[in-house]
Amino acid sequence: MLLYVTKLIIFVKLKNNKMKKIIFKVIIILLFTQFSKAQNITFDIDKSSIIWTGKNIVNKSHYGSLSFVEADIKFDNSGDISGFFKVDLNSLNVLDLQGDWKKNLEGHLKSDDFFAVDKFRYATLELLSSSLNDDYYLVEGNLTIKGITKSVSFKMYKNDNNFKVSMVFDRSDFNVKYGSGKFFENLGDNMILDEVELVIELVKS
């Protein structure tokens, strides 16, 4: 489109000022149409990944993965970000254990003690606004887990059309009470920290 406009300017001989004004208006319309279109990015949910990490009070940790059901981002003509992500909590996988230990922890995390997956299978993240800071976007959004929605903010790094997100959410905000010092006393070394860390890799489809 830009190449065509450039050739038009170079090779069309303008006979008078009226013609110049008409050509100028056409160029402005063409450029505005091209750059005002929102950019939509849809991600390959099989190649994209979510790695979660949970820790207890003595810094012992477990980590694992989750899978996307839906993932897309839209940039408007000002560069602001909006988007929507849907995660299947039934896909919760423990990666640092094997055998019965792995199976038992996965079952416990999916139970009513934690994320009650039978009742609340999906978690969602809606991106509402963003600001560009050096090499990352500071994003504001709404996270919904167990039917409870809370505002969150996090950094999103862009590499070509792929993205990486590092974020932390407080599980106690979503009625995930097991082992939390906010709900139970005298837990000692059995206290589980409320902060859950997520590292998200989004790969363009």
HEC profile for 85-97? EEEEEEEEEECCC
CA–CA separation, 150 and 28 (whole Å): 43
pLDDT digits over 18-63, tens only? 565 555 554 444 444 444 456 889 999 999 999 999 999 998 999 9
- 0.85 exceeded by the pTM? no
Q: What is the pLDDT of residue 99?
A: 97
Which residue shows structure tokens 């976007």?
A: 137
Domain 39-202 grouped into CATH 3.90.420.10: no
Label the pairing between strands 195-202 and 162-170.
antiparallel
139-140-145 Cα angle (round to 5):
115
Supply 83's token pair: 């988007």
Question: Residue 2 — pLDDT band, cuts 50, 70, 90?
Answer: very low
pLDDT digits over 104-155, tens only? 999 999 999 999 999 999 999 999 999 988 889 999 999 999 999 999 999 9
Q: Is the pLDDT of residue 11 over 90?
A: no
Domain coordinates of the chain in residue numbers? 2-35, 39-202
Computed over every residue of the chain, the mean pLDDT equals 86
In sequence order, which residues have a C-beta less than 8 Å from that of residue 82 and are 6 or more positions away?
Answer: 73, 74, 76, 127, 128, 129
